[in-house]
Chain A
Amino acid sequence: QVQLVQSGAEVKKPGASVKVSCKASGYTLTNYAMHWVRQAPGQRPEWVGWISNGNGNTKSSQKFQGRVTISRDTSASTVYMEMSSLRSEDTAVYYCARGRVIFGVVNFDYWGQGTLVTVSS
């Protein structure tokens, strides 16, 4: 069965960086894209970025202006999301979600359990 297991909660100071991992099992990592979605308390989910299937191209939301780096280790079936120059408004639960394409529509059929990142001085 497909599972996405994320790393544990993090507490960081403003200006620091955080790296969240997402270990996939039950399928071949490179057959699907992996997306990162975050959700601040009481807010709607917000797309952060993705790493494509196959060659592993990456893209992140312009909102983060180069602060986000997404990578993967195929030998470990793990995807990483690193965010730098953290601000208090980056406090959120960060999810990895498998991107599946059907009829040309990207949907997120499996999600990790979420990683709470708290940015506080």
Chain B
Amino acid sequence: DIQLTQSPSSLSASVGDRVTITCRAGQTIITYLNWYQQRPGKAPKLLIYAASSLQSGVPSRFSGSGSGTHFTLTISSLQPEDFGTYYCQQSYSDPLITFGQGTRLEIK
């Protein structure tokens, strides 16, 4: 299985802050990388697909970048509704899909 490691595991930030979450893959996955937000008790929600494409309906403050083994999710100006846990997910080894361990984001 392709391992995905996220950092940090958790963070606390204020409204208006710029937030960056990193996902590193154990081997190259080109740009076969997606990002999800999950709020407590809810299903994950797709934010970014193919490393840098914004899913329809997702605010433009979310952006993704990277290729190979290093990827980032950036929230340009944190909003109160952005709390939750963020997961990266790879599909390079489709259908043997794996997720990162998650980054818990708290709003100060």
**Which of A's residues lie within 8 Å of B, judged by CB?**
35, 44-47, 49-50, 59, 61, 95, 97, 102-109, 111-114
Contact = CB atoms under 8 A, between A and B. Distances in A.
Interface stretch (B12-20, B75-83, B96-104): B96-104
Contacts of A114: 43
B30 to A, nearest CB: 9
Interface of B is mostly: loop
B97 A112 contact: no
A55 to B, nearest CB: 15
Contact of B98 (A47, A97, A104, A105): A47
A108 B44 contact: yes
Interface of B: 31-34, 36, 43-46, 49-50, 53, 55, 87, 89, 91, 94-102
Given A45-B99, A47-B96, A47-B98, A105 B34 contact: yes
A107 B49 contact: yes
B46 A107 contact: yes
Contact of A45 (B32, B33, B44, B45): B44
Given A35-B97, A45-B44, A105 B91 contact: yes
B95 A107 contact: no
B91 A44 contact: no
B43 A95 contact: yes
A106 B96 CA distance: 11
Given A104-B32, A111-B43, A44 B49 contact: no
Contact of A111 (B44, B98, B99): B44
Nearest to A4: B43
Contacts of A49: 95
A44 B97 contact: no
